Every structure is written in C-alpha cells, then in structure tokens.
Chains A and B, each alone.
Chain A
Amino acid sequence: MNKNNSFLNRLFMVLVFVFLYAPIVLLIIFSFNAGKSNVVWQGFSLEWYGKLLNNRLIMQSVYTTLLVSLLATVIATMAGTFAAIGFYAMRRKVREPLMTVNNIPMMNADIVTGVSLCLLFVAFFNGWDSFASWFNSLGLFRLPTRLTMGFGTLLIAHITFNIPYVILSVGPKLRQMDKNLVDAAMDLGCTWMQAFWKVILPEIKPGIVSGALTAFTMSIDDFVISYFTAGSSASTLAMTIYGMTKKRVSPEINAISTLLFVTVLVLLAIINIREARQERLRQTRHS
C-alpha cells in the first residue's frame, strides 16, 4: 500500500470519528459554558449543572429513571436467569427456534416494540374496565376501574425488553459449565434447589452480572419504548429531555445529556472490561 493511499485511509477514519463524536464533544463543552449560547464560548462555569439540581421536573425524572431501571434490572435478571436455565435443559431441536424468538425483540425496531406494547396495554385496560364494572356490580368488593398507563406499564415494558439480554448473557455461561456438576452436587446430597445455589449460581454469576449491567444500561438510555408506555403520569430522563427540546433549547439539556452520556459510557466500559477479563480467565483455565 502506498503512502498516498494510507493518508486517505487515515483521513477517512478521522472523518468518521469526527462525525460520530463531534456533536457529543460539542455538547459536553457547551454544558460548561457560562452563557446561554450554544455557539459562542463565554467562559467556564458549572451554572447549568447547579440549575439541574434545582429543576424539580428533571430531578423527578432522574428518580423515575433510576427506579424503573433498577427494578426492571432486578426482575429481568431473575426471570432471564431462570429462563436461560430452562433453555439449557431443553433439547436442541426445541431450544434453537425458541432462542431465535428470544433474539428477535433485540433486533426489532424499538418503535415497533413500543407501539405494540402500548396497544397491548390499551387493549388490556379496556377489557379490564368491562370486567371490573361487571365484578363491582356483584357488590363483593370494589376493583379499580379506569386504569391508565404510568409507572407500572413503564416498568413492565422495561422488564420485557431487558429479559432477552439477560438470557443471551447467561446462556453461554451455562453451556460452558460441565454438565455433570449438577449431577455431582445432587450425588453429594443437594436437592436441585441447593445445587442451584451452591454450584450453578457461582458458575454462572459472571454471566448474570454482565446481563444485569447490560439490562441496566438499556433501561437508563431507553427513550422510544418508554415514550409509548409511560403514559402521561411518568416521565423518564430521556423523555424529559425530549420534552424540553420542544419548547426552547436550554443549556440545561447539555448538562443533563452529558451526565447521561457519561453514565452509559461508564457502564459500557465496565461491561467490556469484565468480558475481556473473563475471556482471559477462561483461556488460562483451559491451557
């Protein structure tokens, strides 16, 4: 390869990275700008970060985001882990098609998942309304009617789209495990449940933690699915930022977006470092 060519190659690569990251770098820089402008640098300041803390709307949505992400992560991790064990115990002929079904939601456009979940909730609430008014007419005790979308539906949606990631990250750990381990534990006096806690769990724990971290990251930065399932009463951080841009672009948005970006970046870094370390560990174990 001649020199000229390699120069073009490098230029192309630099351009790609500029297009990818320049907007984010700009956003981060201007989040520290003293003035209101997004174009003119007027000196360093933490003014906008300070304002965030006093913005009740933003703090409320930070709280909602963290709560829904944490709850969704915990529940999806448990459900996904047991689902992965179920998959593991299946015969290959049954498992492979089911795994494909499991993988589709991850590839699927978020907007399709969001809209379809939204439709499902609306349909369910309609049905529930009819059922509840019939039941209440019996006079035993009152069931609530007129359910609406809110934190509950948001949480269900997050759990739903998180489970496949957990399954995908726990599954390989199970398959790497010596399949006689469970038999050995039961042979030595464990019931199945004891064998799960004492032998399976320690073996697949790295996979569970990776799955939980991935799920948490997905939840934190999700916008589309949340937008369609949160209704009007709950709002995640991403939704709040979107709402703020509709009125006027305040530099507060720069600050909160920077924080969101850094959080996700740190989480992704942790996931990647963990994976690299496990891979090394596995190779030394096998050599």
Chain B
Amino acid sequence: MSKELIRLRDVCMAFDDELVLDHLNLYFNDKEFLTLLGPSGCGKTTTLRIIGGFATPTSGDVLFDGVRINDVPPYQRQINTVFQKYALFPHLNVFENIAFGLRMQKRPDPNDPTGKRMAKIPEEEIRERVMEMLEVISLKGFEHRKPDALSGGQQQRVAIARALVNKPKVLLLDEPLAALDLKLRKDMQIELKRIQQQVGITFIYVTHDQEEALTMSDTIVVMDKGTIQQIGTPEDIYNEPKNAFVADFIGESNIIDGVMLRDKCVKMYGREFPCLDGGFAENEPVDVVIRPEDIDIVPVEQGQLVGTVTNVTFKGMQYDIIVDFKGFKWLIQTTDHSPVGSRIGIKIDPDGIHIMKKSQYSGMFGDYSSFSEEYDELDDASLAPDEEESGDEE
C-alpha cells in the first residue's frame, strides 16, 4: 500500500505567461485511489496530462518508479487514461475500441529462441482479454455496437475497459462522471471503487465534485491556483481543513475570526470557547471553522451565542437555517424548525470547533450573508465541467 510509484518534483507549468502549476511536489502510492480535487482552472487536469505524457512540464521532474519520464511519450508509459467525454473511436465498434491498445502492443516473440524478435499479441488472446473486460464492465453482448448506439453510462464503462485491458500500472481518470446524470453518477462512483479494488492498481482521479472525492478516495489532494492546499484522507480533509479555502470547498463551513488565547481555548465574539486544538502562539489571530451540523440549538438563556434566524430552507433530512450573529451570518443544519425572526441560542461542543492558521484565503469564505447567490454559483460550476480544460490550453 505504501510503495511510492509516481513522484512530481518541483513541477511548474506555464501557458504563455500564465503559471498554471506552481512548484508542485506530490507523490502517488501504488494501488491507491487518489483524487485531485479543485475548482475550474486550479491545474488538476494539467497535472493529470503531465502524468499521462500529453503535456511536458515547463520545469521540474516526473518520476515513475524512480525513473525520470519527462520526455517519455504517452505510448511508452505504463499509464492509461479515461478521458472526459470518453473519446471512444466512433468508427470502431465496442470490441475494436477495447482491443485497440492490445493490437498496438508488441512483445518478445515466444517462438523466437533469441527473444529479440517482437510479435503482435495473437488474435485468440486479444479476444479472450476483451471478453474478460466486457464481463468486468457488465457489457457482454454489446461488442458489435458502435459507440453512438450506447448510453452515456455504457460509453463510460467501455472507456474504462479500453484503458484497463492493457493492464496499466496507473489509470488516470479526467472527470469521467461529469457528463452523467446524478443517479448514474452515484452508481458509477461505487462501480469505479469496486473496479479499482478488483484490478488492484493506482487510480488517479480528477474532479471538481467534493462529494465524489470523499466517496471514492483513499487520498485527496485539494488544489487551487496551481498549488496544493492540502493532502490527506477524506476524513482528515473534512475534519481538519488546513485553511479557509479547503474548509469552504469541502462541505459547508462557517469560518469566523478568532483569537487563540491559549491551548484549547479560543475567543470569538468576545467569548471564550473550549476547543481541542493547540500549538498556536499566545493571542494568535486564527480562523475558526464550525461545521453547520456541529451546532446545537438551545434555549436563549443557555446559549453560548444568541442570534436571529433570517432564512429557513427545508432540505428533506434537515433544515438549513441562516442565523445572524452580530452581522455575521452562519449556516446551521438542524432537524428542529425555528421560524424566521426568532431568537435562538447555540452551543458548540469542543470537538465541533476546528482552528486554522490565517492564510491568503482568510476572510474570503465562510460567511453566509449571500446565501442564495452562493448556491447559484455552485450550480453554474457543475454545469460547465469543460471550462477548465479549454482554459488550460488556450
């Protein structure tokens, strides 16, 4: 599990004068499911293209099993890719699409005693391996269909089979689920994780969808503006975000200015709150993250803070309520209904408070004053998954 397979060392990438990747240092372990997560234009697709060999970094090294592969073309790398919108060959049927990589392969001829002559893979073996792959993706009986006679989900699975049949050491996936509808996306998330465990190779997955990343990954790399913001397990990333950007990008967060009075005690709104974090300087200004589901609503007189409800949205499982605390608006998720205009008290357990050092992102996120607009923006982002790629290349 812990054997290192790929390493990016000080990788920079510039298009014209625009720095897309800024001194990236990152390693990928064998057999892990790693997700590069970030908003459009953060450099995640470029990182993937560099690993696949479709782009050469402006500076820095790409190492595969300890060997520098900067100048190795894609067709000589033990890496295969599932492209955005699948890129199946329209003029070939499903069988030929999957067999494409095998037909290109040459290996030492087993009948040649010197072992120098190269031979193509025999037709029977190709047939066997393709059929085996069709079984893995549950598309047996579809081998004579052309790609345009398949549904989006089926095309997606053919694209995965076409890559996996070559038995690569690493599979790169570039937002492979972006074009599918929500229900299918959820099914495919589980399916992908199952396939990864079945074939036992490294998956490097690019997405802007935080929920996808949390569901499937062993490791998540959160990126923004060409730099890595945080690397960790899904639990680490969610529970211990390193800065306001990560806290805001993964899930919902209220991010409040605070001062660390001493270990395990933070001051916000002029009040001391017990917490579990430590290791900060005395009176150091910090960002305090409080997840909406970690806040308990209590009667006003028992509340650590008292605020006014300004907005209530029914979400099925819970209510999303916006509460004004001295001009700063918080999002709270609760199963109890509190009407708009009512005054409520809140209580936060020490383990519901997470302290972060101040960063360039401080003050940019975590205020829900513009609640509705923020939701609109999120919708826009999910509608345009292609934007980043064109942005990277133009």
Verify B87–A189 contact, CB threshold 8 A: no
Verify A184–B394 contact, CB threshold 8 A: no
Residues of B close to A184: CB separation below 8 A? 81, 83, 87-89
Verify B74–A183 contact, CB threshold 8 A: yes
B91 part of interface (Cβ distance < 8 Å): yes
In Å, the complex CA distance between A106 and B88 comes to 36
Closest to A181 in B: B87
B258 part of interface (Cβ distance < 8 Å): no
Q: Which of A187, A190, A285 has the most CB of B within 10 A?
A: A187
- Minimum Cβ distance to chain B for residue A226 (Å): 38
In Å, the complex CA distance between A178 and B85 comes to 9
Closest to A201 in B: B91
Verify B83–A188 contact, CB threshold 8 A: no
* Tally of contacts, chain A with chain B, CB under 8 A: 62
Verify A187–B85 contact, CB threshold 8 A: no
Verify B162–A180 contact, CB threshold 8 A: no
Verify B74–A186 contact, CB threshold 8 A: yes
Residues of B close to A199: CB separation below 8 A? 89
Given contact pairs A188-B80, A202-B91, A203-B90, A183 touches B54 in the complex (Cβ within 8 A): yes
- Minimum Cβ distance to chain B for residue A189 (Å): 3
In Å, the complex CA distance between A37 and B85 comes to 68
Verify B83–A203 contact, CB threshold 8 A: no
In Å, the complex CA distance between A202 and B88 comes to 13
Verify B75–A187 contact, CB threshold 8 A: yes
Verify B52–A180 contact, CB threshold 8 A: no
- Minimum Cβ distance to chain B for residue A176 (Å): 10
B101 part of interface (Cβ distance < 8 Å): yes
A45 part of interface (Cβ distance < 8 Å): no
Given contact pairs A180-B84, A183-B54, A183-B81, A189 touches B105 in the complex (Cβ within 8 A): yes
A56 part of interface (Cβ distance < 8 Å): no
Given contact pairs A190-B104, A203-B90, A91 touches B394 in the complex (Cβ within 8 A): yes
Q: Which residues of B, 44-93, contact A by the 8 Å Cβ criterion? A: 52-54, 73-75, 79-81, 83-85, 87-91
- Minimum Cβ distance to chain A for residue B23 (Å): 26
Q: Which residues of A, 48-102, contact B by the 8 Å Cβ criterion? A: 91-92
B229 part of interface (Cβ distance < 8 Å): no
Residue-wise interface mask of A (162-206) relative to B, using a CB-CB cutoff of 8 A (1 in contact, 0 not) = 000000000000000010110111111111001000110011000
Given contact pairs A91-B394, A92-B394, A285-B148, A187 touches B81 in the complex (Cβ within 8 A): yes
Q: Which of A92, A186, A285 has the most CB of B within 10 A?
A: A186
In Å, the complex CA distance between A91 and B81 comes to 25
Q: Which residue of the partner chain, among B81, B90, B104, contacts A189 with CB atoms under 8 Å?
A: B104
- Minimum Cβ distance to chain A for residue B130 (Å): 13
Residues of B close to A190: CB separation below 8 A? 75, 104
7 more contacts with CB within 8 A, not counting A180-B83, A187-B75, A189-B105, are: A183-B87, A184-B87, A186-B73, A188-B100, A188-B163, A198-B100, A202-B91
> Can you name 22 A-B residue pairings with CB atoms under 8 Å?
A178-B85, A180-B83, A181-B87, A183-B52, A183-B74, A184-B81, A184-B83, A186-B54, A186-B74, A186-B75, A187-B54, A187-B74, A187-B75, A188-B75, A188-B100, A188-B101, A188-B163, A189-B75, A189-B105, A198-B100, A203-B91, A285-B148
